[in-house]
Chains A and B, each alone.
Chain A
Amino acid sequence: MNSLTFLRGSSSWMKTTITLLSLATLTACGGGGGGGDSSSDSSGLSDSGYATEQAVLQPVSTNTVAKPANRQEAARFLTQATFGPTDESINRLMSIGYSAWLQEQFASKSARTYVSYWDKRTAALKIERRNAGAIATSTEINHAFWAKAVADKDQLRQRVAFALSEIFVISMQEGCAASNTRGTSSYMDMLGQKAFGTYRDLLESVTLHPIMGCYLSHLRNQKENPATGRVPDENFAREIMQLFSIGLVQLNPDGTPKLDTSGRPLETYGPTDVSGLAKVFTGWSFSCPDWPQDGCFLWGMKGTNPNYNPLKWISPMRPYAKYHSTSEKRFLGTVIPPQSTPDPAGSLKVALDTIANHPNVGPFIGKQLIQRLVTSNPSPAYVKRVASVFNASKGSLQATVVAILMDPEARDMTKVNDPSFGKVREPLLRLSAVLRAYQATSQTGDYLLWSTHDPATGLGQAPLQSPSVFNFFRPGYTAPNSFTSGEGLVAPELQIVHESSAAGYVNTLVGALTYGLGAKGYTNTSSTPDVRFNYQINPSNPLFNMSPEALVEDANQRLMYGTLPEYLRTEIVNAVKSVYVGSKTKQTAEDAAETRRRRVMTAVLLVAASPEFQVQK
């Protein structure tokens, strides 16, 4: 167990699998990973937010440090594990190898948090706008997302947090998350902090986050009243099962559905499970200095004083016994007996333990994380390997992420030529990869990108702007009448690819490569957009001295780890060569410089706009 090898060259995949399982065991034995701490949170009594991190993987001693065989392998790994490879990150991974790189990432935590940025900008906005009531909004959450994606070092943590935000969805398309953006900021911070802990702990933090409570309406949810006919709100009870844990149908460990004798999928729960579980999520509301007074339960404030409780949207919800159902609660084969004294924390612990221990969780959550990071159509064996690590590690997300990224199916370089492998890059990850590959920086340091939500003028996707709790796209989406569906492949990200968003993506690239991206400073009064590529600010960028052939090969390496097909190389090289400014016979120095600039933009645009880039392989 002390010797751990993630990878032994690129040939011995069996060896890799065995060592991954030993990592999982190690994690489970390591003391922090068992989820045993989670119940201590269930009282919700802490106002300290989500600062504690659990389940830190114990340091691993390694006799052999597996390293990527070449820069292409490194870049491909970093495409799966980060917001896009950079020269720097490739160098680091090449130098220290997978195991050490993962350990480094697990330990890494950026000083920049969503909440700290929200606070900083709120203070500044009051001055900039001469308005004491000014506060940060969804605009600033967008900034923080891009700052972390493009610039911060804790890339794996943020990449996984983003994936989690697409499973445990809240959305600023609706009131709660849009109106209380400090709370929304803290939700994103929470996902980052819990990304490498246990699933059980994450599930509890998600459940008790007041923004989730507001979004799925279990905040302030009250017990039933047989006299009036009032019933508990079923919203969260339904969605925690359908979307956050087990799904609608029973799964085999490899993620395939279990079937009844007539070949129909077996459902995991029915309406009575929903109504039974709904009672658990009664009697939870704001954390509040006056807890458990009614004013706290109902409004998180005292009297009508809105300034009384500034922490209410960022502190875990707390139990209010008075509003908790005491009747019997039946769900998923578990029975919580009638309570003589209402015990919301006790009910919650039983419910979350029951859900987290359901055999569906490993394949259900594991497969979705594979889809977010690596491939849309993992083999059942891949899902099974990941689910078994999930189970053996008692739901350690850290061990699960390692299992996903270091799986033979993920690391096998020959998969780049397998047409059923890979996934369409979602628009945000396309743009982040381009920004990182070409060393985009922010003048303010705060990455003031505009929202990319609009499909015709943006990307048709912006962080935390999904239309509903069902995310931008569904894990089982198949595009009707499509090539992928003809091959029996799901393609979740194609759900937001359409005639308008396809043009919107290319147009966004054209604009970004020409001018940069985002507001012109905090007050939009500077001369240039805040985020620009290095070649837009550095006249001696080496790109300007490259031939068309070299520019295209450089883009091939930066964006596609060497997978650019020859036909496309020829096409793009010819297009780059066709770009020419000025007189054909006597080009001025200025025109020559402009030609070089446009050729850089053309090479990057045509590679990044290509379907070959848009599919992560």
Chain B
Amino acid sequence: MKSFTQNPSRRLFLRQAASFSALGTAAPFAMNLAALGSAAAQTTSDYKALVCVFLSGGNDAYNTVLATDSASWSSYNAVRNLGGESIALNSSQVLPLNPVNALPRGRTMGLHPQLTGLQTLFNQHRRLAIVGNVGPLVEPVTKDEYMRQARRLPSKLFSHNDQQATWQAMAPEGVSKGWGGRLADLMAADNGNSLFTGISVGGNAVWVTGQTVKQYQLAPGKVPRFGVYANADGVDRIYGSAEAGEALKRIGSAYRAGNPFESDLREVGRRSIAAERVLSTALPSETQAPFGPSTQLLYRRPDGVTEINPLAQQLQMVARSIAARGSLGMKRQVFFVNLGGFDTHDGQMAKHAVLMARLSHAMAYFDTVIQSLGMGNNVTTFTASDFGRTFTSNGDGSDHGWGAHHFVMGGAVQGGTLVGELPVYGTKQANSNQFDGSPDQIANGAMLPKVSVDQYASVLGRWFGASSGALQTIFPNLANFSAPTNFLG
């Protein structure tokens, strides 16, 4: 099999070429990549992790990555700045981006004023790429085809829970296997402890669960012990009794045939006890460098108040887990973290600014820590969200949309690039919010995705080590798109 790096049509935003030179010799790594690309051999000697940063509620991509050329800005301002509680950002405060290659058609772009950390990662460190207008698709669809209902579309568009599931697992709520977990399925055999192959620090997330990989859920901070405590002798006890301590653990965790609800609870108990036993010694302290001190978790809100960043807390636990990869025997891991509050139907300007500040601080913190661990090229972090939001304003907020821009961060990333395109911004028509002037915007200016989630995810999956065949299986709609990952061409 030909190394995909030699195939321009498969040139990805992940920076293989840079990785080669970093290693000094291109050939072994290329061979390794080729090996990773074949279904037969997925044995790994290196370490890779995918980290999904989920922005729950549907992030307003229009105010996250902004088209700043004058034509785009004029449309943006006309639609979003209705006076009163405008949802248009001030152009002078938008953070300019300097992409490696100029954007087509003379367009320019910038970031939300609170995304200072991401601006540095994009402009200076070149460790951040932007993927424009991504969303769930079954097959490519033009605006005309969408209006005529001439193409198959994902079901239950615009619905939070269903589109969260679709982003994470390619189907609406009820789907049981996510693509993070399914990618991890392919590699789990290389891991010394299967328990930690898929970890969520952000609550229950189907993305992490595969065929064999089950998500292990961690809370930030300390890993709780299952009831028992141990004195200096190391014996687990309850109310002074080692026998009772053992009984508690057996009752809570030992498999018994019978009631399936009880069996599920016991399995969770078993995993809780087994994981804590290992992690209590394997995880480095959250207060020690580079994870701490805890002041690193503080971010500055737009109103000047300094407080703990809940997303950074979660990513700290991810970083600690990655630091423990050696003692845990891990080669491939997927992690999920979650930042909520993005359903900005109202009060959007203030709410979204806080969320952007959290996102920027947490991503920059995580990148710094990961690089301190020497894992800068081994961890790829990306964002996902329910959907983008409408271009139009409902007065002081925006409503559920479809496509959205997303960030990919790490040393393997073709940093400083825009993958895909920003949508053409339609100008407002009298008495219509159909945005006839834009081929990329549907009713109320929601983005019609040009890059499918399958494409976006398959790029990440290929970097992670999945073969083409495996990717076609995990992302069955990939075949519907003319060229594999053509959004990167």
Contacts and interface: CB of A to CB of B under 8 A. Distances in A.
Interface string A457-487: 1000000000110100010101111111111
A230 B432 CA distance: 10
A454 to B, nearest CB: 7
Given A174-B341, A226-B430, A498-B268, A612 B262 contact: yes
B359 to A, nearest CB: 18
Interface in B176-220: 176-177, 203-204, 206, 209, 211-212, 214-219
A438 to B, nearest CB: 16
Contacts of B264: 424, 479, 482-484, 491, 494, 497
Contacts of A611: 251-252, 259, 261-263, 265-266, 269
Interface in B150-189: 155-162, 173-174, 176-177
Interface string A434-463: 000000000000000000001111000000
Nearest to B390: A231
Interface in A524-563: none
B267 interface: yes
Interface stretch (A2-10, A129-137, A502-510): A502-510
A423 B261 contact: yes
A234 interface: yes
Nearest to B162: A248
A67 B464 CA distance: 63
Contacts of B107: none
What is the predominant secondary structure among interface residues of chain B facing chain A? loop
Interface in B232-252: 238-244, 247-248, 250-252
B272 A499 contact: yes
A470 B221 CA distance: 26
B276 interface: yes
Interface stretch (A34-42, A144-152, A199-207, A575-583): A575-583
A432 to B, nearest CB: 18
Interface stretch (A181-189, A308-316, A353-361, A602-610): A602-610
Contacts of A263: none
Contacts of A248: 156, 159, 162
Interface stretch (A46-54, A56-64, A566-574): A566-574
Nearest to B216: A499
A615 interface: yes
A502 B268 CA distance: 7
Given A481-B176, A499-B272, A229 B433 contact: yes
Contacts, number: 257
Contacts of B240: 579-581, 598
A307 interface: no
A72 interface: no
A579 B211 CA distance: 43
Contact of B392 (A221, A231, A502, A506): A231
Interface string B120-159: 0000000000000000000000000000000000011111
A221 B395 contact: yes
B340 A467 contact: yes
B267 A482 contact: yes
A256 interface: no
Contacts of B222: 456
Nearest to A225: B82
B399 A234 contact: yes
A568 B254 CA distance: 12
A406 B240 CA distance: 45
Nearest to A495: B204
B454 interface: no
Given A229-B79, A480-B176, A609-B252, A487 B265 contact: no
A252 interface: no
A234 B203 contact: no
B227 A483 contact: no
B56 interface: yes
Given A481-B209, A568-B251, A238 B158 contact: yes
B227 A500 contact: no
A222 interface: yes
B475 interface: no
Nearest to A572: B247
A598 B239 contact: yes
A495 B160 CA distance: 17
Contacts of A226: 430-432
Given A422-B261, A499-B272, A606-B248, A233 B346 contact: yes
A173 interface: yes
Contact of B443 (A271, A376, A514): A271
A571 B246 CA distance: 10
Contact of B265 (A173, A572, A615): A615
Contacts of A509: 227
Given A468-B56, A486-B260, A500-B218, A571 B251 contact: yes
B394 A470 contact: no
Q: 5 tightest A-B contacts by CB?
A: A498-B217, A578-B243, A575-B247, A483-B260, A611-B262
14 contacts: A228-B82, A233-B397, A267-B156, A271-B443, A424-B261, A455-B219, A468-B56, A478-B174, A479-B264, A494-B264, A507-B225, A610-B252, A611-B265, A611-B269
